Amino acid sequence: MHDINTRNGHPPGHPSLLLTTLLAASLFTGGCGDRSPGADARSAQVDALFAPLTTGLQPGAAVMVIHQGKVVHQAGYGYADLETQVPITPGSAFRLASVSKQFTAMAVMVLVESGVLGYDDPVSRWLPELNSYEGLTVRHLMTHTGGLSEYYDAIDTTSHLPTNADAVALLGRMGTGDFAPGERFAYSNPGYDMLVPLIEAASGMSFAGFMHERLFVPIGMRRALIRDHTWPDVPGRVIGYEPDGDGFSLNDDHPLNRIVGSGGMYATLDDFFQWDQALYGETLVSRATLDEAFTPARLNNGEAVAYGFGWRLDEYNGLRRVRHGGSWVGFRTHIARYPDARFSVVILSNRADFDPEAYVDPITDTYLGTGER
């Protein structure tokens, strides 16, 4: 879901010790994993980075590198389920946490391009419960500039497991946000949670049904799904863990897991390849609409913020980059795309002490450090 205790994409308690241990061990340990055919020396270097995750019985990560439309590295390291000793493979389905936001944003983009709603529609047009939030628009929700208050500590989890409908009702009772819409950028899980009932109101479909029919099926994301209050089975589901003394304990369930939009999506590496390639084409929306997703939002005073529609925006070594991370229960996830080089890195992990973002730059350097752009 939700990056609850982080506003910069890093999980709480930045796990520098784990990263140092893994990088050091990678100098001495050969890699293994479910590697794609035709892996070269650079793929072996990536294997070496993650090789410490393959020793003993421990959770780990799934890693994919895509270059010029081809998977140049794909592997699983460690275990998806420690109890049943199921290894992680490219077909393992991970909870995406806040990486889900780019998919929620795309659902809005599809509806906008279809003429059903507009980015600058008042949110209250679709969610009358929020009519006290004057000036709040769909665009504000998508760009974390709406000022909605965090409600996770306030929502009732004692009588039942809350859903997005409960979240809307609670925000309606709160009646006001932390600041006027558009005044500043503040990373907002509630904003993305509100997009779900808005999408449902505009489309006349359930959010999960809309995502399946209008996003996942058209681009071939065969395993992707939304795990909402209907609690569907997730084939190949990966279990989340956290360190516990000398081992690991479960960190997979949470009372807020039925609230989706800011999170709640499951997908595999195979799904991410289809997603990545679709973002170069126009199967879902036009190129102009995609370009807007990767354009910095602007505050009321005209100041640009380094966020588009579900994507953080920056550069690395002179390359334009769009990326996003996720942190929820025992999952840590990250996708980084360099559209001008047609290069992407996807890292999905099921351990709370892991920082996937820390591996993005070394992997990028391995493949693009010699000018192959």
Closest to 238 in 3D by CA, of 105, 113, 84, 132: 84
3-state helix/strand/coil string of 85-124: CEECCCCCEEECHHHHHHHHHHHHHHHHHCCCCCCCCEHH
How many angstroms separate the Cα of 60 from the Cα of each of 54, 92, 224, 271?
Answer: 8, 12, 20, 19
CB 323 within 8 A of CB 312: yes
Tokens of 138: 């769909």
CB count within 10 Å of CB 161 equals 15
Active-site position among 92, 98, 100, 327: 98
- What whole-number distance in Å separates Cα of residue 328 and Cα of residue 323? 17
Tokens of 88: 């992680």
Half-sphere exposure of 44 (CA within 13 A, CB side): 7
Residues 6+ apart with CB under 8 A from 338: 316, 319, 320, 321, 344, 364, 368
Question: DSSP assignment of 201-231, as one string?
Answer: HHHSS-HHHHIIIIIIHHHT--S-EE--TT-
Active site residue 98: yes
| CA of residue 260 relative to chain centroid, distance | 12
Beta bridge partners of 314: 321
3-state secondary structure of 176: coil
Question: What is d(CA 297, CA 191) in angstroms, rounded to the nearest whole number?
Answer: 15
What ranges in 222-349 are assigned the alpha helix state H? 269-278, 287-293
Count the neighbouring beta carbons within 10 Å of the beta carbon of residue 79: 26
Angle, CA of 244, 247 and 253, to the nearest 5°: 60
Catalytic residues: 98
